[in-house]
Amino acid sequence: MNKKESVLKYLDPALISKLKTLELKARYVVEGFMVGLHKSPYHGFSVEFSEHRSYMQGDPLKNVDWKVFAKSEKYFIKQFEEETNLICHINLDVSKSMDFKHSGPITKLEYGKILASSLIYLMNKQQDAVGLSLYSDKIESYLPPKSSRIYLRNLLTAIENVKSSNKTETAECLNSIADKIKRRGLVIIISDLFDNPESMLSTIKKFHYKKNEVLVFQLLDPIENSFAFGSDAIFIDKETGEEMTTQPHQIQKAYQDTMKQYLDKIKKECLSNGIEYNLITTDIPFDKALLSYFRKRSKLN
């Protein structure tokens, strides 16, 4: 196995899902990502990663850690206790529609749980304050942002224990969560976004209007994009139980056109309002999402 293949195994959803605990999954994803990002063994970088941040234009050169540069050839600033770290609010959709898997290796919910946990693990190592909301048609769990290492276990336990339930009310739940946020920071939304687009987008924009940076991950199973089913199929709405029998090939083109319009609308509205949007299918390695987070994070230092 070459180095690239070795790194990718830490980021492959199918392989990561086989690990025993959510904390172990998160750690493997983050370590695999850091290996690929820095092209050096993660164990040689772990201390610096928890105590440093990337150099930004305007930072005093006296604060550059040249020992870290010698090892990684990257510029890092020593992180001091008095510096204000990031405040992040992660919002994970746990409604029944997320509990779906067809051509992807894992369900959207399992992918979302691993992604949320990896981001939490990553931010906790950076000594950022991170909070969590789990929602369906109501807020199932809300943990306010904190930065302590002990709090990491509380967040991961909440994610690990949650089960999919109820219908999707993304707009209503995110509206309630927005009202809880008193200090601006980074808001991350992880959902399939299967809800009324107008009300949902209006609520997502609310976070931005309140001076938060917003990062959206829309999770789909690959089949939800392609509708590449074979013969006759029975479709069951996971939230209502309603069934419909149809011949997928007869409506595939109409479905693809409608889905494209829907996805384009969400993407366009997000980007035009300064909200970073990412479409992620559950067969994509986790590094795409983590790179998007790092790009957003670099703008906040």
pLDDT (mean) for 214-240: 73
Q: At what angle do helices 149-161 and 22-38 cross, to 10 degrees?
A: 120
Q: How many CB atoms lie within 10 A of CB 255?
A: 16
In a shared domain, residues 91 and 237 = yes
pTM for this structure?
A: 0.79
**Residue 159, pLDDT score:** 97
Task: Report the alpha-carbon distance of residue 215 to residue 238 in Å, rounded.
Answer: 27
Task: Name the phi and psi angles at 88, rounded to 5.
Answer: -125, 140
**Residue percentage of the chain with pLDDT more than 90:** 51
Residue 241 banded pLDDT, cuts 50, 70, 90 = low
Best-predicted range by mean pLDDT among 3-7, 11-15, 222-226? 11-15
In a shared domain, residues 66 and 195 = no
In a shared domain, residues 224 and 201 = yes
Instruction: Give the domain extent around 138.
Output: 87-298
Cβ(185)–Cβ(144) below 8 Å: no
Q: Which residues contact 142 (CB under 8 A, 6 or more apart)?
A: 131, 132, 133, 134, 177, 180
For residue 296, what is the enclosing H or E element?
A: helix 287-298
Task: Name the phi and psi angles at 141, rounded to 5.
Answer: -155, 140
Q: How many CB atoms lie within 10 A of CB 151?
A: 19
Q: In 3D, which of 150, 181, 154, 164 has the Cα closest to residue 113?
A: 164
In a shared domain, residues 213 and 252 = yes
pLDDT (mean) for 68-80: 66
Q: What is the CATH number of the domain that holds 286?
A: 3.40.50.410
Domain boundary among 41, 56, 78: 78
pLDDT (mean) for 263-276: 94
In a shared domain, residues 171 and 229 = yes
Token pair for residue 136?
């369906």
Exposed, middle or buried by CB within 10 Å (0-12, 13-18, 19+), for 97? Answer: buried
In a shared domain, residues 142 and 272 = yes
In a shared domain, residues 96 and 177 = yes
In a shared domain, residues 33 and 120 = no
Domain boundary among 54, 78, 102: 78
Number of structural domains (the chain) is 2
In a shared domain, residues 196 and 56 = no
Give the strand pairing for 233-236 and 243-246: antiparallel
In a shared domain, residues 47 and 181 = no
In a shared domain, residues 102 and 199 = yes
Domain boundary among 78, 103, 118: 78
